[in-house]
Structure 1
């Protein structure tokens, strides 16, 4: 029996050492390697070198090299509206008679697109094409640092500077500076949009958010369960729950949620929607799990709206029936409200 005790002691010491080792690996992986987990810019393979261009989809565009505050150069695309587009599916805009191309561009909304954490801006051109041809929006397609052909390495601080560079470009553009700016963000791009709007409340007209989250530390336990115990080490915060209340009530939000999202649980979008409703003075509770919301407006007089897609997953919500109709109706409602305010002598964006 006594000879067996050293073996037990050795086993206990070995188990303790293994546990300590695994804990150290977990700590190190999350703390030092989290940028590689959160920003997989090389996935799918080729994403850092093979970047589709809008002309491959029949669209004229301007290739931009925007420079962030810290000097990092960003590879972006601008699709500026012209009055006459050759594509047969182009939607006509009433009241454009007598305008030249710059005047027409200045009369249309400008959408700034912030993509998810995989791929590059070129993979989102089919989405930009719908904004451009079907809704006749100007479109600025951003590509974060470390993604596609942009310089640098991605991180929260850097991407915040990247988004600001995009907004600053639009607000200083000779034709686009007076247009209503709408931020469109998918997944982590939604967090980028919320942060940018919170820091520029007078420059942003509206937000369109798809399958985004309350914050990254609150997402870790479900997105990466093995690292759940170490979520407190997540230094890439993207704390949208804290930033969204800083976005003023005059900025409406359209929230588009895939109920079957396997990456960002539905509860995150519902949590953000509840913050929107509180901001706008709602009393009723938001829909709960198991009770599909369908299309849920904010209080009377608000343009904000929450729309669920029962078959939508993280990456295919944007192709679900009704997705683009919801966006088109939202943008049209903004245009109508701005036209009404202009008719009443009010500044349309305030």
Structure 2
């Protein structure tokens, strides 16, 4: 007779084997979804459809992969802040154009939209290592342009894009003025347990329980929780409390980790915001939160000069008082 313990061990072993098969065979398809069901890889529309002025930009990542992007300007000589927008994991940049159109109008900014490798018109196949290179190529391109104020570059990432943006911002403290992330996960390791609950005991991030024996099989861990605490620039956290994909508690964990090391962190939540529509359901408060963040951390040249002059006057006054004392 097979003992109860033997049955239990066989069951656990079966779960581990099934988990290994899923992780090895399907993980890229779960993490990266360049083509939505029933649609093609190509862009369904271009910015022209929304009467937006744009430039097709072609880049080479550091490993030679050819990338496509749209650089969309509010008007030809706009010197407002430039936002690098990193999208979610599903679909392509064309599916975000309506949101970007409103972003341009409300924030008086330029927007650079990168197609990750394997997405849209970009070549290659998506991976964490590759997309990290792609993001760096996008930033390097912007810092070499002469038609924008390169001191006002801000990174904005939603969901997977927040993980991408966190790495880029951390790696470029002198090139990125600020970082905005929305509805982003702590790590893919933690999300695996959310999407596949039966694996929760065997896979997870640094704060999870269990042996985590399957972590070594994850090729794109995107551990934002380990990156966020190393970012020195100002960070704005935008969290939809009705997020049906990423538990809002993960955004709170990211904020807590960042705020421990960085005093320039702001957390704004939106009671009715879901994973993909927080920018819409958040209404005027959503856009005002971002606008205030940009005004404070990516100001116009004259505002920056005035701010520096005020700081110099304040320091001089303090010095005079100390000397008199």
Asked if these proteins are the same fold (TM beyond 0.5), I'd say yes
**1:130, distance to aligned residue in structure 2 (A):** 1.8
Does structure 2 retain, via aligned residues, the 8 Å contact 1:43–1:119? yes
For residue 236 of structure 1, what is the aligned residue in structure 2? Answer: 220
Cα distance in 1, alignment partners of residues 189 and 305 from structure 2: 43
CA offsets, 1:12-68, max 9 Å, x none?
999977865553232021134211111122224324124421001111211111111
For residue 262 of structure 1, what is the aligned residue in structure 2? Answer: 244
Any idea what SS the aligned residue of 1:270 has? helix
Question: Which one of 297, 309, 314 corresponds to residue 270 of structure 2?
Answer: 309
For residue 331 of structure 1, what is the aligned residue in structure 2? Answer: 294
For residue 197 of structure 1, what is the aligned residue in structure 2? Answer: 169
Cα distance in 2, alignment partners of residues 181 and 210 from structure 1: 17
Alignment of 1:1-350 (within 5 A): 20=13, 23-82=16-75, 101=77, 105=78, 107-176=79-148, 178-231=150-203, 232=215, 233-248=217-232, 251-280=233-262, 302=264, 304-320=265-281, 321=283, 322-336=285-299, 339-343=302-306, 345=308
Any idea what SS the aligned residue of 2:126 has? coil
Any idea what SS the aligned residue of 1:123 has? helix
Decide whether aligned partners of structure 1 residues 221 and 344 sit closer, same or farther in structure 2, where only a CA change above 3 A counts: closer
**1:247, distance to aligned residue in structure 2 (A):** 1.2
Structure 1, unpaired ranges of 5+: 84-100, 282-301
Decide whether aligned partners of structure 1 residues 47 and 115 sit closer, same or farther in structure 2, where only a CA change above 3 A counts: farther
Where do 4+ consecutive residues of structure 1 move more than 6 Å?
12-19
Decide whether aligned partners of structure 1 residues 190 and 146 sit closer, same or farther in structure 2, where only a CA change above 3 A counts: same
Does structure 2 retain, via aligned residues, the 8 Å contact 1:110–1:179? no
Q: In the comparison of the two structures, how many residue pairs are matched? A: 296
For residue 291 of structure 1, what is the aligned residue in structure 2? Answer: none
Cα distance in 1, alignment partners of residues 276 and 63 from structure 2: 32
Which deviates more from structure 2 when the two are superposed, residues 185-194 or residues 61-70? 61-70
Decide whether aligned partners of structure 1 residues 229 and 66 sit closer, same or farther in structure 2, where only a CA change above 3 A counts: same
Any idea what SS the aligned residue of 1:331 has? helix
**1:197, distance to aligned residue in structure 2 (A):** 0.5
CA offsets, 1:272-327, max 9 Å, x none?
1112321235xxxxxxxxxxxxxxxxxxxx4x321111111112212112222222
Cα distance in 2, alignment partners of residues 217 and 41 from structure 1: 21
**1:223, distance to aligned residue in structure 2 (A):** 2.6
Cα distance in 2, alignment partners of residues 338 and 268 from structure 1: 36
Cα distance in 2, alignment partners of residues 78 and 160 from structure 1: 19
* Structure-2-length-normalised TM-score: 0.83
Cα distance in 2, alignment partners of residues 81 and 192 from structure 1: 25
